Amino acid sequence: MTQARPLEESARSRILAAAMRRALVLAAQGPPHGPNPRVGCVILAPDGSVVAEGFHRGAGTLHAEAAALANARDVDLRGTTAVVTLEPCAHHGRTPPCADALLEAGVAEVHVAVVDPNPTAAGGAARLRDAGVRVETGLLADAGEELLRPWLHAVRTGRPYVTLKLATSLDGRVAAPDGTSRWITGPQARAHAHTVRAQVDAIAVGTGTALADDPSLTARVPEVAEGHDGGDAHQPLRVVVGHRALPDDARLRGPGGELLHLATHDPAEVLAALAARDVRHLLVEGGPVLATAFLTAGLVDELHAYVAPVLLGAGATAVGDLGITTIGDAARFETHEVRRLGDDVLVVARAARRAAADGTTADGAADNAADSAAHAPATRRTNEPDGMPHAHPTKEDH
Ligand SMILES: NC(=O)c1ccc[n+]([C@@H]2O[C@H](COP(=O)([O-])OP(=O)(O)OC[C@H]3O[C@@H](n4cnc5c(N)ncnc54)[C@H](OP(=O)(O)O)[C@@H]3O)[C@@H](O)[C@H]2O)c1
């Protein structure tokens, strides 16, 4: 392949961008949960044609670059270009470093979307450059960052990315005055919430919700409900926060993800315990006391507000007193997405990015989490490997 005709620079840029878009699509086929990032890789011949593709299928499987190289086993890869969504790793896990594998294959050029922030795995770009390979980073970096958002956040801050789910009436209530709360939102909103459960590593509720609602906290996505993939479906770790004990016959002890009961009221402690278990993405599903605690601690990175066209006028609100006394101190988020789900609306909002003194910006929640990050163990990219649906949810979306 080394003898192929070189491309014009502009044509080459277009081909590289297209290859990166394809690599991102491939990466998205990997599991969004688990300790490892989703990564895709496309290998191009000098004439710009695609020689091989690969993506990472989760912890314990080949990295994207290794998967692409394996798919091109009988091809001479000397002089080719690798387009990868995340910087190739430089560390020995179960497999040799991807940077070394690319070097051995004779890859001449590497284009990366996102530089790996993980100190254990980083350094692949430097290793490749040292060996004479041209390495460019930042190609479609925004799209790469978006794909890896929870993972990058967890690795950069040392604590899981926190999504807070709220399912409310138009007036922000989660239950009527008598405590009934079943089905404020409709089936499409509930189905969407289950797909989110299937994407996260862990779900947390307070003991109040665990005792009042007896939820199962399983991911009941259509494939699981229909039994197509029930055996292998990912079920997130189920986390209950608070001191009270759960009854022996609690549904949380039934089929589903592992149950972890954390006898604390401190959200930072919760996140540190989960970081120690390589949890990258936590979904907090309430109730109001736990939601308020995470918001007050500044530990919510993303809000999923499912709002139903229902008015209650009285009853518990989704969020309690945040200690805010004036509008200027409101906890503000930035709308990322608005989606109609049947009669309901989902608003996905993210912690506002704040300008820092040095002119850079940072996630508000990440800033506030500095304390928790300080005592949370460093997360790492690892090669270690990382139920059944419940048919009778009792209350709102459990
Ligand atoms: N519509 C919805 O989307 C939705 C979602 C969830 C819940 N709900 C409703 O909300 C109700 C339960 O509300 P809730 O606020 O009691 O539930 P909760 O937030 O799940 O649980 C509160 C309990 O958790 C413990 N806890 C954990 N962290 C705490 C902290 N930082 N500060 C104080 N206590 C902490 C305390 O119990 P210990 O004494 O055991 O420590 C506290 O009483 C249920 O009726 C449920 O149906 C509705």
Task: Say how far apart CA 77 and CA 51 lie, in whole Å.
Answer: 8
Q: Would you state the pLDDT for residue 369?
A: 41
pLDDT in tens, 304-322: 999 999 999 999 999 999 9
Band of pLDDT at residue 353, cut at 50, 70 and 90? low
User: Ligand 1: residues whose CB is within 6 Å?
Assistant: 167, 174-175, 179, 181, 184, 205-209, 212-213, 241-244, 265, 285-290, 293, 316, 395-397
Quote the percentage of the chain above a pLDDT of 90. 75
pLDDT in tens, 183-194: 899 999 999 999
Q: Which of 9, 53, 65, 269 is catalytic?
A: 65
Residue nearest to atom 29 of ligand 1 (CA): 265
Q: Would you state the pLDDT for residue 303?
A: 98
Q: Would you state the pLDDT for residue 120?
A: 79
Nearest-atom number in ligand 1 for the CA of 209 is 20
Residue nearest to atom 44 of ligand 1 (CA): 209
Band of pLDDT at residue 225, cut at 50, 70 and 90? very low
Average pLDDT of the chain, as a whole number: 86
C-alpha pair distances (Å), 11 with each of 20, 46, 51, 72, 107: 14, 12, 18, 24, 20
Q: Would you state the pLDDT for residue 217?
A: 96
Residue nearest to atom 9 of ligand 1 (CA): 287
Whether 279 has a binding-site annotation, put simply, is no
Quick one: average pLDDT of 287-305?
Answer: 97
Whether 207 has a binding-site annotation, put simply, is no
Residue nearest to atom 32 of ligand 1 (CA): 265
Distance 243 CA to ligand 1 centre (A): 11
pLDDT in tens, 155-191: 999 999 999 999 999 999 999 999 888 889 999 999 9
Whether 89 has a binding-site annotation, put simply, is yes
Domains of the chain plus CATH, in order, are 9-147 (3.40.140.10), 156-375 (3.40.430.10)
Told to judge if 9 belongs to the known catalytic residues of this protein, a careful annotator would answer no
